[in-house]
A and B are shown apart, each in its own frame.
Chain A
Amino acid sequence: MSIYKFIFKRILQGIPIIIIVSLISFFLIRLSPVDPLAELKMNPSISKQTIEAEKVRLGLDKPIIVQYFIWGKNFIKGNMGTCVSGESVSSKIKERAFNTILLSLNVIFWTWLIGIPLGVIAALNFRSTFDRLLTVLSSAGMAIPSFFFAILLLIFAQKTGWFPIGGLTCPNFSQMSTINKIFDIFHHLFLPTLVLTTISLAGLARQMRSNLLDVLDSDYVKFAKAKGLSPNKVIIKHALRNAINPLVTLLGFEFAALLSGAALTEYVFQYPGLGRLILEAVMKSDINLVMASLVIGSFMLIAGNILSDILLKITDPRVRL
């Protein structure tokens, strides 16, 4: 199967899922006893016309099934309605979703950069002190509640003053030069990244370790050794490539876990991401915003899974759908 056909088929598979997700989230929220316009009506700065326009946009006078289709049509067009604060939902989500993706990619980058070598070293030094230490540390890493770790790091940041607390940029961000801007963003990203990396690092390093141990035990590695290849060549050329493949599948799951785990971390660090947005929306019962961010979050998750499958197809051509 050619790679393009694979991509096409995989995307086609994602469509029914996104439809079901939208159905679930629509009915979940619409059938709950919350008036979708209650909060909008309470904001005096929002005009009567806007509320009337919302009524028409949501089709509130029509049966609920029709309402779903109206909502869906508007959603595809990119018209997601108005927030309680009066801003348009789509522009707010765009910004926040970007920030969450930035954080997640940063975390995945560091997790792989640190986790893979750790797993490899542990597997090559099987049952050594380092190996044992890694097992213990990785269990501990998986057990820390993300928000608790985030709080501890906040104390650290407060005491040392080395890291900025909260947000993604400094107040004077717009006056900085480009290099300073990039530095500023990464400076703010450091602590949230540290929290999320610590938690997902453990799983990845462990998985890498057990994959490599499996591969090292396989016949073709034994054969390569028997042929007289140097140990380094065997490991790099034969063992590593095959041990990493299963991890590519995990990438999708990792992204899913990150989206969830990031919500609490974003909340503690006051990071302007999608997770914190949905939380704020829920607290203010901002129905439009909740619904849109739920669907966008799911969409990102599905897209992440599709991307990791495509990546796997590239690294391992044997994969079929």
Chain B
Amino acid sequence: MREFVKKFKKDKVALLSFFILLLLYLSILFANFISIYPKDFSNRKLSYAPPSNIYFITPDGKFSRPYTYSYIRKFDKNSLRSYFIQDREKKHYLTLFAKGFEYKFLGLFKTNRHLIGTHDGGDLFLLGCDINGRDNFSRLLYGGQVSLTIGFLALFISFPIGMIYGGISGYLGGRADMLMMRFSEAIMSIPSFYLLIILAAILPSGMTSAQRFFLITVILALIGWAGFSRVIRGMVLSIKTQDYITAARSIGASKARIILKHILPQTSSYVIIAITLSVPGYILAESGLSFLGLGIQQPDASWGNMLKEAQEFANIMYRPWLLTPGFLIFVAVLSFNLIGDTIRDILDPKSEIR
């Protein structure tokens, strides 16, 4: 383990990716504290408000504490378009640990302090607003809670299934193996995204968001196990011919015990590599599904369904801040891939890309 950490630290790219992921996961853990607006905040008058400008220099040229202005919406009768002007009457100073909405800090105690805010509760939209006048920055944090965790949760379902299925199939061999492998091949033969769409679409409507989140996780897991179980089966086939397995069998260990205690632990280094390399796939699948409107549904946020708004031309041309979830997905997936590559190189020197 110490050896592993040492080697990992040497790889600067992997280390950087690790810190980026750490930052992302810490910010979704403390999402309530970092966000400026609560989950259910929306103000139709602020539809598509651009990011707040933050000033360090007052109009008369003096340095000042950072401050910002609130927005007033105006409507242009000639072009029939609404636009925003800044309410220059009043400056709202930015402060750390500002007072905001009340929440439970890590579910432990109630507080209303937030990492950043304005001193008197004026508007502060670091990354603009969406169509419903919801703060994009806060929603990125809440959306990250879904997008960055759903992959891990799905792994906790699909990997045990894949390991046990592959273990049984490989250990039993013969006709059982044949049947089980034909079945997993059939699952793999259905284009996975098609299956995903269909499974998500037959979910009954009118579920609570927690139920929906859970079922989407299960669906993602149902797609991923088949390919994984085939690799495990291949490994089991070679492990089961080793002497210590014969020894275990000869002292009368049960099949379940041999598979769970003696064979599957041998596959652990492959499993660790496969886990890190498959998290990004789940993140992408969830965001794709939500992007189509079949995954996590409004008003809950996920990076995928936030990007749904970016489908409109007017939005991508004039409101580029709506594209931020896409960049975050990119950064998260890239970091996972880079870390996965490094872990593979360390744990499995044979596959090292020299």
Asked if residues B288 and A145 are in contact (CB atoms below 8 Å), the reply is yes
Measured in the bound complex, the distance between the Cα atoms of B285 and A261 in whole Å is 10
State in angstroms the CA–CA spacing of A139 and B340 once bound together. 11
Q: Say whether chain A's binding surface is mostly helix, strand, loop, or mixed.
A: helix
- How far apart are A258's CB and chain B's nearest CB, in angstroms? 9
Inter-chain CA distance A305–B186, complex, in Å, is 12
Among the listed A29, A146, A213, A268, which residue makes an inter-chain contact with B202, where contact means beta carbons less than 8 Å apart? A29
Q: Which residues of B contact A283 (CB under 8 A)?
A: 201
B354 within 8 A of A: yes
Chain A nearest CB from B284 CB (Å) reads 6
A24-B190, A298-B189, A302-B189 given; A143·B197 CB < 8 A: no
Is the Cβ of A17 less than 8 Å from the Cβ of B186? yes
Distance (whole angstroms) from the CB of A25 to the closest CB of chain B: 7
**Whole-angstrom distance from the CB of A232 to the nearest CB of chain B?**
22
Evaluate contact between B334 and A140: CB separation under 8 angstroms.
yes
Q: If A145-B330, A158-B317 touch, does A301 touch B189 (CB 8 Å cutoff)?
A: yes
Q: In the complex, which residues 264-323 of chain B have their Cβ closer than 8 Å to any Cβ of chain A? A: 280, 284, 287-288, 291-292, 294, 307, 310-311, 313, 316-317, 323
Alpha-carbon separation in the docked complex, A32 to B189 (Å): 21
Q: Does A53 contact B (CB under 8 A)?
A: no
**B277 vs chain A, min Cβ distance (A):** 10
Complex Cα distance, B316 from A147, in Å, reads: 13
Segment of A74-82, A169-177, A274-282 in the binding face: A274-282
Q: Cβ of B198: which chain A residues have Cβ within 8 Å of it?
A: 25, 28-29, 278, 282, 290, 294
Q: Which residues of B contact A263 (CB under 8 A)?
A: 191, 193-194, 197
Question: Do B204 and A33 touch (CB < 8 A)?
Answer: yes
Q: Which B residue sits closest to A258, measured CB to CB?
A: B191
Which residues of chain A are near B294, meaning CB under 8 Å? 282
Measured CB to CB, the closest approach of chain B to A17, in angstroms, equals 5
A21 and B329 contact, Cβ closer than 8 Å, known pairs A143-B280, A209-B353:
no
Q: Does B123 touch A at the CB level, under 8 Å?
A: no
Known A-B contacts A17-B182, A259-B191; the reply to A213 vs B316 at CB < 8 A is: no
Q: Which of A146-167 contact B (CB under 8 A)?
A: 146-148, 151-152, 154-155, 158-159
Is the Cβ of B287 less than 8 Å from the Cβ of A145?
yes
Give the distance to chain A from B119, nearest Cβ to Cβ, in Å: 37
CB contact under 8 A between A20 and B354, given known A155-B316, A264-B292: no
> Is A21 in contact with B182, judged by CB distance below 8 angstroms?
no
When chains A and B are docked, how far (Å) is the Cα of A29 from the Cα of B202? 8
**Of B189, B193, B310, B333, which is in contact with the most chain A CB atoms at under 10 Å from its CB?**
B189
Nearest CB of chain A from residue B267's CB, rounded to whole Å: 22
> A147 near B191 (CB under 8 angstroms)?
no
Q: Could you tell me the distance between the alpha carbons of A155 and B316 in the complex, rounded to whole angstroms?
A: 7
Q: Is B177 an interface residue (CB 8 A)?
A: no
Number of A-B residue pairs having CB atoms within 8 Å of each other in the complex: 131
Contacts of B292 in A (CB 8 A): 264, 267, 279
Residue pair B354, A282 in contact (C-beta under 8 Å)? no
B337–A142 CB distance below 8 A: yes
Contacts A28-B198, A158-B313, A285-B201 given; does A145 touch B193 at CB 8 Å: no
Contacting B at CB under 8 A, from A20-36, are: 20-21, 24-25, 28-29, 32-34
Distance from B147 Cβ to chain A, minimum over Cβ atoms (Å): 11
Q: Which residues of A contact B194 (CB under 8 A)?
A: 259-260, 263, 275, 278, 293-294, 297
Instruction: List B residues 172-202 near A (Cβ within 8 Å).
Output: 182-183, 185-195, 197-199, 201-202
Please tell me if A256 contacts chain B, counting CB pairs below 8 Å.
yes
In the complex, chain B residues whose CB is within 8 Å of the CB of A159:
317
Write the chain A residue with the least CB distance to B316: A155
Measured CA separation A144–B330 after assembly (Å): 5
From B194, B199, B280, B313, name the one whose CB has the most chain A CB atoms within 10 angstroms.
B194
A264 cross-chain contacts in B, Cβ below 8 A: 193, 288, 291-292
Q: Is the CB of B202 within 8 A of A298?
A: no
A103 to B262, CA, bound (A): 47
Contact A301 B191 (CB under 8 A): yes
Residues in A with CB closer than 8 Å to B311 are 151, 268
User: Contact mask A269-307 → B, CB, 8 Å, 1/0?
Assistant: 000000100110011010000100110011001100100
A210 in contact with B280 given A147-B288, A263-B193, A264-B292 (CB within 8 Å): no
For the complex, what is the distance from the CA of A282 to the CA of B198, rounded to whole Å?
6
A16 proximal to B (CB < 8 A): yes
- Beta-carbon contacts of A29-61 to B below 8 Å, as 1s and 0s? 100111000000000000000000000000000
A126 contacts partner chain B, Cβ-Cβ < 8 Å: yes
A145 touches B185 (CB 8 A): no
- Contact indicator A145/B190 (Cβ below 8 Å): no
What's the minimum C-beta distance from A299 to chain B, rounded to whole angstroms? 9
Instruction: Tell me whether A139 and B191 are in contact in the complex, defined as CB-CB below 8 angstroms, given that A34-B202, A145-B333 are known contacts.
Output: no
Indicate if A188 sits at the interface (CB-CB under 8 A).
Answer: no
Bound: A16/B189 CA distance, A: 12
Nearest residue (CB) in A for B294 is A282
Are B291 and A147 within 8 A (Cβ)? yes
Q: What would 14 more interface pairs be, CB under 8 Å, given A139-B338, A145-B333?
A: A17-B186, A25-B198, A29-B202, A126-B354, A148-B326, A155-B313, A210-B353, A259-B191, A260-B192, A263-B191, A264-B288, A278-B194, A282-B198, A305-B189
Q: List 8 A-B contacts (CB under 8 A).
A: A16-B182, A139-B337, A145-B284, A147-B307, A152-B326, A155-B317, A282-B198, A302-B189
Interface residues of A (CB under 8 A from B): 16-18, 20-21, 24-25, 28-29, 32-34, 126, 135, 139-140, 142-148, 151-152, 154-155, 158-159, 206, 209-210, 213, 256, 259-261, 263-264, 267-268, 275, 278-279, 282-283, 285, 290, 293-294, 297-298, 301-302, 305
